[in-house]
Structure formats: structure tokens, C-alpha cells
Amino acid sequence: MAKKALVTGITGQDGSYLAEFLLAKGYDVYGMVRRTSTVRYERIRHIQDKLHLVQGDLLDQTSLVRAFSDIQPDEVYNLAAQSFVPTSWNQPVFTGDVTGLGATRMLEALHTVAPQARFYQASSSEMFGKVQETPQRETTPFYPRSPYGVAKVYGHWITVNYRESYNLFAVSGILFNHESERRGLEFVTRKVTYHVAKIKLGLAHELRIGNLEAKRDWGYAPDYVEAMWLMLQQAQPEDYVIATGVTHTVQHLLDVAFQCVSLDWRNYAVQDERFMRPAEVDLLVGDASKASALLGWEPTVTFEQMIEKMVAADLERLKKDPDNVI
Ligand code: NAP
Ligand code: F7E
């Protein structure tokens, strides 16, 4: 019998790569989708006929209980979230509800109707915020700097709490930033590679950007979904940091991305107050030595290789369709 996996957030960046990964391993993959008036399944269109899509919403407990009860999954990956940090200041209550309480609703549904299922919670390096130690590891205290980060801290601790209260196989993966050709356009890496491609093709003339000094540990999303799966294959449920251990400034991102098309970012980038944050996370760099030792996990794509792939993909998309906004 094939194993059954339930993935929330399957239409997102990570959900789409995880679904591909699990299908390749022979899983029956159930993806939770929200009803919207316009269907946006672009990231899973190519595998849609191989997936079982079920309607549900992290705000709606009944839909979660029904999904767990009907599917009786072996593994559950809770990737759904309001995941864009600036939006979390505009919609802090909604972000807390989906990104924080949503994890509780998932765990409560699992605990009630499918307690045998193994559970993965998508925790985030944003929990480290104003970092208390460098590099950040599993034992580093949290100090979140946005309503999103605060919601993820709640999601993390409720996962630990359900594991300890009910003896569930529930783990929290503390993943540092990971990007790809499928990254949403609002996140800084994709925003930059998309604009680089537009500028190169003469479709845009500037890139408006925020804080150039912030440092992030950026990895490649397909590497990171493998780590999620590995965490659920272990004998014991434990939490892991997943990161490359290398950090770059946003300015270096500009250097690398514009160099891909032989342009100098200084001629195109315009700093814009609108993209500054009320509280910034200045530096993130992770120590994934626990994941390396226990999961055998290592990143395989460098920052430079990833940005090159992203610029190439954006050039290709925009050459085919200059109005492309995916
Ligand atoms: P993403 O592209 O923003 O995808 C988020 C997914 O959540 C989408 O499928 C979205 O569905 C779904 N969703 C949002 N609200 C929902 C709700 N109320 N009910 C059900 N589904 C809902 O995010 P991602 O980059 O793939 O990240 C996946 C997870 O990892 C998120 O939890 C994120 O916070 C976390 N994380 C990401 C990173 C990173 O660098 N990418 C790092 C650490 C942690 P729609 O398509 O309908 O909007
Ligand atoms: O910002 C700076 C910005 O929005 C990265 C999410 O996946 O990773 C992501 O959160 C940095 C910040 O990602 C612009 O101030 C400068 O310092 O790409 P981002 P994020 O906030 O780190 C974590 C791990 C998650 O969990 C989240 O879900 O770049 N920055 N100028 C900018 N950022 C954006 N978006 N746009 C700019 O114009």
C-alpha cells in the first residue's frame, strides 16, 4: 500500500516541490486547497492529475477534521501560512489566526481523528529575529521581530506541546529562507531576478527596493523539502534547523543577479522607503549541523547557482510572455 501524505499549502512554493518529491517516492499525495473565485494552481498544474485535491482552510476546523478523517494520512506537512512578513503588519490578527492558530487546528484535528499520523510544522528562521546568538541553532532563544515571526513561534511551541502532551510524532523544521524559480514575486530574491529579466529585455527601467544591508541565509527550495521528509522518517520526533550556513546581504544579491545579465545594479536600483520594515531582522545565518549529522542532509545548490537559475527562468518566461506575473 502506498503511503498517504496530506500537504497543506500545496499551491505555494514549497508545497509544489514537496508534492513532486512525494509523488516520486510513490506516495498518494493529498493537497489542501482553498476555494477562491479565480483558481491559481500554476505551481502544481503540471502534476495536478496525479494529486488528490481536497478543499479546506486552516481557519475552518471542521474542514480539517473532515480531511484527516477521510484521508487517514500517514504523514502530514503543514506548509499553509500567511507567509509574507510585511503583510503581517497590515493583517496581524489574520496572520496570527492562519499562521499561528492554524497549526493548533491542524494538531487538534490530527490528535482527535488521526493520532498515528506523523506531523511536520513549517517553522521559520524569522523566529530568531533579533538574534541572540550567531549562527542560530535549535537551542538559540527566539526573539521574533514581526507579527509573522510571533505567529511562527506560537506554531513552533504548540507543535512541541502537542508532541509532549499527547505523545504525537510531531516535528518542527526551523527552515531558513529558501527560494526558487517558483518563489512568490513579492519576496526579495524573486523580485530582484524578475526585475533583472524585465530590465534586460527592455520591459522595465528600474527596481524599487528596501533595506540593502539585511543579511539572509538563502538556500534552494527543492533541497529544503527533502529535509522536511527526512524529519518524518526518523525513529524519534525532533526539531531541526535547515540552512546553508552562508549569509549574504541584499546588496550582494543585487550584484549577483545583475551580473547574470552583465548589468550594474547601481544604474537601476532605487531605494524606496515603502519597502523598509517597522522592525527588521538584520542578520540570519543557520547552523544545520544537527540535520547534517542525524538526517544526512546537505544543501546541494549554492546561492550564486540558484540566482542564476532564477534569472534564467524569468528571462525565459518573459520572452514567451512579456506580461508574465507568475
Ligand atoms: P507560500 O508560497 O506563501 O505558500 C503558502 C501556502 O499556504 C499557499 O499554498 C496558500 O494557499 C496556503 N494558505 C494560506 N492561507 C491558508 C489558509 N487559511 N488555509 C489553507 N491554506 C492556506 O509559502 P512557502 O514559501 O511555500 O512556505 C511554506 C511554509 O513554510 C509556510 O508556512 C512558510 O511560512 C514557511 N516557511 C517558508 C520559508 C521560505 O523561505 N520559503 C522559510 C521558513 C518557513 P493559496 O495559494 O490559496 O494562497
Ligand atoms: O525579505 C529585505 C527585507 O521578504 C528578505 C519568508 O519566506 O523567509 C521569508 O521572509 C530581506 C528582508 O523574506 C526588499 O527587509 C529589501 O530583510 O524576501 P523577504 P523574509 O522577510 O526574510 C522567512 C524565513 C520566512 O519564513 C518567510 O515566510 O530582504 N528587502 N528590499 C526586501 N524584501 C522584500 N520582500 N522586498 C524588497 O523590496
Does residue 114 share a domain with residue 233? yes
Mutate to test the pocket of ligand 1, among 6, 14, 240 (most ligand atoms within 8 A of CB): 14
- Residue 326 falls inside a structural domain: no
Q: How confident is the model at residue 326 (pLDDT cuts 50, 70, 90)?
A: confident
Amino acid found at 128 = F
Is 34's C-beta closer than 6 angstroms to any atom of ligand 1?
yes
Residue ID of nearest Cα to ligand 2 atom 28: 83
Does residue 174 share a domain with residue 31? yes
H or E, element range at 67: helix 61-71
Residue 223 Cα to chain centre, angstroms: 12
The pLDDT value given to residue 236: 98
Cβ within 8 Å of residue 62, ≥6 positions away? none
Is 106's C-beta closer than 6 angstroms to any atom of ligand 1?
no
Distances (CA, A) of 121 to 70, 152, 274: 21, 9, 31
- Residue 205 falls inside a structural domain: yes
Does residue 207 share a domain with residue 172? no
Instruction: Compare 38 and 201 and report the one with higher pLDDT.
Output: 201
Is 88's C-beta closer than 6 angstroms to any atom of ligand 1?
no
Distances (CA, A) of 279 to 124, 177, 252, 275, 301: 17, 18, 21, 12, 30
Per-residue model confidence as pLDDT tens digits over 21-54: 999 999 999 999 999 999 899 999 999 999 999 9
DSSP labels, 103-155: HHHHHHHHHHH-TTSEEEEEEEGGGT-S-SSSSB-TTSPP---SHHHHHHHHH
Whether pLDDT at 171 is above 90 = yes
Does residue 105 share a domain with residue 48? yes
- Residue 292 falls inside a structural domain: no
Asked if residues 119 and 110 have their Cβ atoms less than 8 Å apart, the reply is: yes
Ligand 2 atom at minimal distance to the Cα of residue 85: 21
Count of structural domains, the chain:
2
Which ligand is closest in space to the CA of residue 242? 1
- Residue 68 falls inside a structural domain: yes
Is 178's C-beta closer than 6 angstroms to any atom of ligand 2?
no
CA–centroid distance, residue 108 to ligand 2 (Å): 31
Is 186's C-beta closer than 6 angstroms to any atom of ligand 2?
yes
Does residue 124 share a domain with residue 196? no
Domain that holds residue 276: 184-217+246-284+301-320
CATH of the domain at 170: 3.40.50.720
Cβ within 8 Å of residue 38, ≥6 positions away? none
Does residue 29 share a domain with residue 112? yes
Does residue 110 share a domain with residue 258? no
Ligand 2 atom at minimal distance to the Cα of residue 83: 28
Does residue 106 share a domain with residue 32? yes
- Alpha-carbon span 70 to 23, nearest angstrom: 20
Whether pLDDT at 111 is above 80 = yes
Per-residue model confidence as pLDDT tens digits over 286-321: 999 999 999 999 999 999 999 999 999 999 999 999
Does residue 124 share a domain with residue 238? yes
- Residue 201 falls inside a structural domain: yes
- Residue 296 falls inside a structural domain: no
Query: Among positive and negative, which fits the CA dihedral 201, 204, 210, 213?
Result: positive
CATH of the domain at 193: 3.90.25.10
- Residue 325 falls inside a structural domain: no
